[in-house]
Amino acid sequence: MSSLRPDQAGWLMASAAITLLPHTAHLPLALSAICTLLLAWRGTLVHGGRALPHRALLMALAATIVAIVLIEFHHLFGKEPGIALLAGLLSLKLLETRSVRDGRAVVLLCFFMQLGQFLYQQNMAIAALAFIGTITTVASLLALQGFAEPPRARALAAARLILQGLPLMLVLFVLFPRVQGPLWGLPADAYNRVGGLSDSMAPGDFARLGESGAIAFRARFEGDPPPPAERYWRGPVLTRFDGHTWRSGPLRSGEQPAYRPQGIAYPYTLTLEAHNNHWLLALDFPAATPGLRFTDDYQLLAREPVQNRQRVTLLSYPHTPVGVEETVFNLRAALALPPGFNPRTRELGQRLRAEAKNPADIPALAIAHFRQSRLSYTLEPAPLGRDDVDSFLFDTKQGFCEHFAAAFVVTLRAAGIPARVVTGYQGGEINPVDGTLVIRQSDAHAWTEAWLPGRGWIRIDPTAASAPQRIENGLAAALPDSTRLPLMLRADLAWLHGLRNRLDALNNSWNQWVLGYNPARQKELLSGLGFGQPDWQTLTALMGGGSLIVMGGLTLWALRRRSSADAIDRSWALLCRRLASIGLPRDAWEGPLDYAHRLARQRPDLAETLTSLATDYARLRYGPATADPLQSRRFHHSIKNFRPR
Amino acid sequence: MPIHTAHRLTDAASRIILGKEHAVRLALACILARGHLLIEDIPGVGKTTLAHVLARLLGLQFQRIQFTSDMLPADIVGVSVFDQREGAFRFHPGPVFAQLVLADEINRATPRAQSALLEAMEEHQISAEGRTWPLPEPFFVIATQNPADQIGTFPLPESQLDRFLMRISLGYPDRAAERALLAGDDRREMLARLPTELKPGELDTLFAATRAVHVGPRLLDYVQALLAHSREGAGFAVGLSPRAGLGLLASARAWALMAGRDHVLPEDVQAVLPAVAGHRLRAADETPLPPERLVCRLIEAVALP
């Protein structure tokens, strides 16, 4: 069992460090610290050339790591505890890596942990890190096999190996038969911790989303997108109100929408990030699409929760009148107010009702009242009392979109107008790099719908009354300058903005073509290449064929590279084979002249030709002038014609 | 042209040293490769004569130092003597100040005296009285040594052996050669009559021609494979040093030149390898293997690339 050289240990440590680095984002802090310490310890041991620690100490350390995992996760099974345990043991394994065989175990563990990164995140940065990690680990494997070499040459050799595997990887990626959904079931914890809208709303919910720059979805329009003021992306509709929280009413859904689309149509494709809910955030109001469902409050739903990034192609008609013939049941639900809450707002509603000559004027009166009240739009509203609508409207007068929407709906309901809160996203920003409309969590918005007889549900955005900028130009423009916004949301840093746009465009292509390469995309691509609609058998055959072609091509390339340099050697080898077949083999170490000389004594009849051939070979192979093709062909010819018996 | 010169030299030497053409050629190759030569053999087989012949043929200024057990370094490098007329010390150069120094029976002297010579071989200069005195160019040492199992000798340690490019032995002449020797003229007289074969400057041309012999990448592959096997292959306790590798190439160049080629073949390397590597390799197993067998083992273990 051969022991490790310092360069081998160095490569193994580099592999482990690069592999573990991205895992620190989700490992327990204590474990990350222990891994760092263990790696550093191993580093000093290598540097100082000292012996590795005793087995008993390692056992104690392993027990500590298991204990930390147990304390953090309460069990040892599943994705997170499993990865955490392996990360700890990888760092520990380095401390007992004495022989080349141990080194191979470390290499395998590194490869496994690099795959493990993708259980958490699959973005480009992680892919790039995994790629660097793979190169380093392959370099470690090379170091374990061969002699010491400068690190640069070693890394280049590893990169070359991976590059040679790239064509095969591409064939497998493009042609491997895709199945809908993840290939293997991930443990349930893969789907929690996704931010975004929920099916309820309480004061403060949206302000929290407003601080998140994460992308909610992207939309690509065929043709011009609608103007910003019409970009209302519909999410959950909240009708029930218990005095504090708004919830959606009972949903009835069908395959056809409850309206007849009319007016201008906008065709577009949505690429939704996973949010673990059914709603699809269509632009108001989408036409029927196969496979999707519509609720009677005009939400568009998917059949399965959106647990992976998903593409939907839709057609929306923003100017469609909806709900002219609304059911009494729904209208009654849209008038209900919990008794005993917000007395001042109810009083306001009743006053507006009395002032109005016509009930249809009430919404306009309410908006006017909001405007007069000088409500301010802010991400950090003052805390509210028990009657939060009352305290917003009459005391603090500071709120975010959910405060405006809630207050407006309560006012209208008190005035006898059916109304409800609609949540979703408003606006979005065109990325000039690739022309997609990017909608972030900070674009989350709440607005209202009021029902008027003969006109149906009408969208009214009370936020626009106080902060019209929000609707036209986005959140950053609407907030007062003093508000502290996350860096990325600030409008004044133009270069940062440009950089983010570029990055988003790149990420979008990555999502569309790498992560979003699903059965539909595969079919699209392959039918574009003239394969029609391949089933999985055809795909398997194509993949097998493709792999064979790539492997064959690589083999041929390698052989050709050898043969073009060695035409002379091949001719010489042919001569040696012929002589060996008549019982005059060459020893592997025997030089050409010595060989000819020896044979000349045994077979004087062949002496002259052999000596001349051997001399030619020696001159062509070892001489100062490189053989030109003519010479080597002549040499080959003379050997081909020489048939000793 | 250099080839003919080389042939002339070997022919002339072989007329005096009978039946030892291979050893003579090796000795000449060693000189052309600008290395020092160690001749190891029992007394009376013509070691000293070979050195004399080479000096004569090449036209080199010659000195002979007979090594004895009571020898001091000053007997080799020279002494400083107080000059009464000038009132200062004057350095009297020792016998080492010659182009070709024959160090006869080097293993008879104490290590102290040996190392004085060996330092001169390495540095091509002498340090005495706080000054350095350059040795003449070219500078060669041909040392002879009786096999170390004789009584009263100080065998050279490995580190010192490494400074000799080649170690050869002459051995008994074969029957025909011995007959010719016995029947022929007195060798000492023949030596005295031996004309110098080289015109002034011709030796330098030979050196330049040796250095110009082409060594292709394939041959370097082969030499490296040999070196690697001597270091990592089973059966070798001590491998060949980088200095040995350089010496091997230089010797193979000289051998190729003497064979009339402008490029080195693996055969050339194999031809000089026993002389170049024999005193540098050591077998890993306990049973002492004659050096030639060990080198053969090395050659046969490494296939031509």
Q: Output the pLDDT for position B149.
A: 61
- A589 and B302 in contact by Cβ < 8 A? yes
B298 touches chain A (CB under 8 A): no
Measured between beta carbons, the chain A residues lying within 8 angstroms of B263 are 618-619, 622-624
- A591 and B218 in contact by Cβ < 8 A? no
| A104 band by pLDDT with thresholds 50, 70 and 90 | very high
Does residue A17 carry a pLDDT above 90?
yes
Does residue A187 carry a pLDDT above 50?
no
Residue from the list A589, A592, A624 with its beta carbon closest to the beta carbon of B214: A624
| Contact residues for A359 (Cβ-Cβ < 8 A; gap 6+) | A353, A415, A416, A417, A452, A453
- A587 and B300 in contact by Cβ < 8 A? yes
Q: Among A562, A589, A597, A619, pick the best mutation site for testing chain B contact (most B Cβ within 10 A).
A: A589
**3-state DSSP call for residue A132?**
helix
- Greater confidence, A409 or A562? A409
Measured between beta carbons, the chain B residues lying within 8 angstroms of A587 are 300
- Percentage helix, strand, coil, to 5, in chain B? 50, 15, 35
Q: Output the pLDDT for position B150.
A: 66
B296 touches chain A (CB under 8 A): no
Q: Among B224, B249, B253, B304, pick the best mutation site for testing chain A contact (most A Cβ within 10 A).
A: B304
What are the tens digits of pLDDT across the range A607-620? Answer: 888 898 898 888 88
Give the nearest chain A residue to B264 (CA atoms). A622
For A499, the enclosing helix (H) or strand (E) is helix A494-510
Q: Output the pLDDT for position A1.
A: 44
Cis upstream peptide for A343 (omega within 30°): no
**Contact between B219 and B272 (Cβ < 8 Å):** no
Q: Output the pLDDT for position A493.
A: 66
| A490 band by pLDDT with thresholds 50, 70 and 90 | low
Lowest model confidence (mean pLDDT) among A298-307, A544-553, B44-53, B278-287: B278-287
- Restricting to B residues 237-276, those with a Cβ less than 8 Å away from any Cβ of A are 262-267, 270
Q: Whose structure tokens read 């496979």?
A: A291
Percent of chain B with pLDDT over 90: 16
CA distance B231 to chain A (A): 13
Does residue A534 carry a pLDDT above 70?
yes
Q: Output the pLDDT for position A2.
A: 61
d(CA B279, CA B143): 14
Give the nearest chain A residue to B262 (CA atoms). A623
Residue from the list A589, A592, A622 with its beta carbon closest to the beta carbon of B299: A589
**Contact between B54 and B195 (Cβ < 8 Å):** no
- A594 and B270 in contact by Cβ < 8 A? yes
- A588 and B266 in contact by Cβ < 8 A? no
What are the tens digits of pLDDT across the range A109-141? Answer: 999 999 988 888 778 888 899 999 999 999 999
Measured between beta carbons, the chain A residues lying within 8 angstroms of B266 are 589, 591, 622
Residue from the list A591, A619, A623 with its beta carbon closest to the beta carbon of B266: A591
Q: Output the pLDDT for position A426.
A: 87
CA distance B270 to chain A (A): 9
What are the tens digits of pLDDT across the range A143-185? Answer: 888 767 788 888 998 999 999 888 899 888 888 877 655 444 4
Average pLDDT over every residue of A637-645: 83
CA distance A161 to chain B (A): 23
Q: Output the pLDDT for position A627.
A: 63
CA distance B198 to chain A (A): 28
Q: Give the C-alpha distances (Å, rounded to integers) separating A371 from A18, A25, A230, A392, A466.
A: 57, 46, 22, 14, 6
The catalytic residue among A401, A403, A443, A616 is A401
Q: Output the pLDDT for position A626.
A: 67
Does residue A480 carry a pLDDT above 70?
no
- φ and ψ of A133, to 5 deg: -60, -40
What are the tens digits of pLDDT across the range A238-285? Answer: 888 888 888 887 777 788 888 888 888 889 988 888 877 888 888 888
Does residue A562 carry a pLDDT above 70?
no
The catalytic residue among A275, A278, A369, A445 is A445
CA distance B53 to chain A (A): 30
Measured between beta carbons, the chain A residues lying within 8 angstroms of B303 are 588-589
CA distance B301 to chain A (A): 7
Residue A445: active-site member:
yes
Residue from the list A588, A591, A624 with its beta carbon closest to the beta carbon of B263: A624
| B270 band by pLDDT with thresholds 50, 70 and 90 | very high
- φ and ψ of A416, to 5 deg: 85, 15
Identify any residues that bridge with A311 across adjacent strands, giving them in sequence order: A271
B212 touches chain A (CB under 8 A): no
This model of the complex carries an ipTM of 0.85
- A588 and B264 in contact by Cβ < 8 A? no
CA distance A638 to chain B (A): 22
Does residue A546 carry a pLDDT above 80?
yes
- A619 and B263 in contact by Cβ < 8 A? yes
Residue from the list A589, A623, A624 with its beta carbon closest to the beta carbon of B304: A589
Q: Give the C-alpha distances (Å, rounded to integers) separating A88 from A24, A57, A73, A82, A506.
A: 11, 15, 14, 10, 34
B173 touches chain A (CB under 8 A): no
Give the nearest chain A residue to B299 (CA atoms). A589
What are the tens digits of pLDDT across the range A384-442? Answer: 777 888 888 888 888 888 888 888 999 989 888 899 999 889 888 888 778 888 888 88
Residue A461: active-site member:
yes
Q: What does the H/E/C string look like for A609-633?
A: HHHHHHHHHHHHHHCCCCCCHHHHH
Residue from the list A590, A593, A622 with its beta carbon closest to the beta carbon of B219: A622
Q: Output the pLDDT for position A488.
A: 53
The catalytic residue among A390, A461, A504, A616 is A461
Does residue A629 carry a pLDDT above 70?
yes
Residue from the list B265, B270, B303 with its beta carbon closest to the beta carbon of A622: B265
- B303 and A624 in contact by Cβ < 8 A? no
Does residue B236 carry a pLDDT above 50?
yes
d(CA B140, CA B60): 9
Q: What does the H/E/C string look like for B200-268?
A: CCHHHHHHHHHHCCECCHHHHHHHHHHHHHHHHCCCEEECCCHHHHHHHHHHHHHHHHHCCCCECCHHH
- φ and ψ of A4, to 5 deg: -80, 140
Give the nearest chain A residue to B266 (CA atoms). A591
Burial class (CB in 10 A: 0-12, 13-18, 19+), B290: exposed
B7 touches chain A (CB under 8 A): no
B226 touches chain A (CB under 8 A): no
- A622 and B216 in contact by Cβ < 8 A? yes
- B300 and A591 in contact by Cβ < 8 A? no
In total, the C-beta contacts within 8 angstroms joining chain A to chain B are 44
What are the tens digits of pLDDT across the range B138-177? Answer: 899 999 887 756 677 788 887 788 889 999 888 888 888 8
Q: Output the pLDDT for position A321.
A: 85
Q: Give the C-alpha distances (Å, rounded to integers) separating A240 from A330, A409, B192.
A: 11, 11, 129
What are the tens digits of pLDDT across the range B31-89? Answer: 999 999 999 888 788 888 888 888 888 888 888 899 888 888 888 888 888 888 887 88
CA distance A580 to chain B (A): 16
